[in-house]
Amino acid sequence: MSSTPDQQKVYIIHGYRASPGSHWFPWLRERLTEAGADVEILAMPTPQEPKLDAWITQVEAAVRDIDSHTYFVAHSLGCITTLRYLQKQNPAKPIGGIVLVSGFAKPLPELPMLDEFTQQALDDERLIRSVKRRAVIAAKDDSIVPHAYSKELAERLHADFYEVEHGGHFLESDGYTALPLVADVLAGMMAE
């Protein structure tokens, strides 16, 4: 990314079995770029068989010089990955914000192959100090990440919680090639 010092930087982190071209990620990049942000969708390694260390290493390699103008938008497995990355950063230099879509911080009953991402507890207090503004978005009818998991994550992080009646897991197969709620929540954070 080659952004000016005061330009908003947004990193989009996809989830399990996804890619930078999946779901609503390209739409969000285009919308944020039009609004003047510097946006990058990270391509996470082996998304069909994700490994925690490899995903954290990928974020560390791609993200440089985070500051109060830095924002993350993460989906599903990308949420816990982003939180694990941020937990390693200096909370004295907090980033602007995070928007976690269908996030979770405990094992998913239907996806035990992802358990390594949730084995260690998050340091909630450190994350709260490290991120100025926090939001979690979840659908009540998500069949992959239980709605209650996302709500619990929001409560733990003292994040604003946005719930949608019918959104599933916000996948392209659920009808999501755009997700205006994410763009609106992020715009609100950036305007503060």
The helix/strand/coil state of 67 is: coil
**CA distance linking residue 177 with residue 191, whole number of Å:** 25
Bridge partners of residue 163, in order along the sequence: 138
**CA distance linking residue 98 with residue 80, whole number of Å:** 12
pLDDT at 1: 46
Give me the catalytic one of 22, 76, 102, 130: 76
Q: Is 142 annotated as catalytic?
A: yes
Digit-by-digit pLDDT tens for the chain (192 residues) are: 455 667 899 999 999 999 999 999 999 999 999 999 999 999 999 999 999 999 999 999 999 889 999 999 999 999 999 999 999 988 888 999 999 999 999 999 999 999 999 999 999 999 999 999 999 999 999 999 999 999 999 999 999 999 999 999 999 999 999 999 999 999 999 998
Q: What is the pTM of this model?
A: 0.96
Contact 11, 97 (CB under 8 A): no
Give me the catalytic one of 14, 22, 142, 150: 142
Q: Is 169 annotated as catalytic?
A: yes
Contact 135, 188 (CB under 8 A): no
135: phi then psi, degrees, rounded to nearest 5: -140, 145
Q: Is 147 annotated as catalytic?
A: no
The two structure tokens encoding residue 17: 């079995």
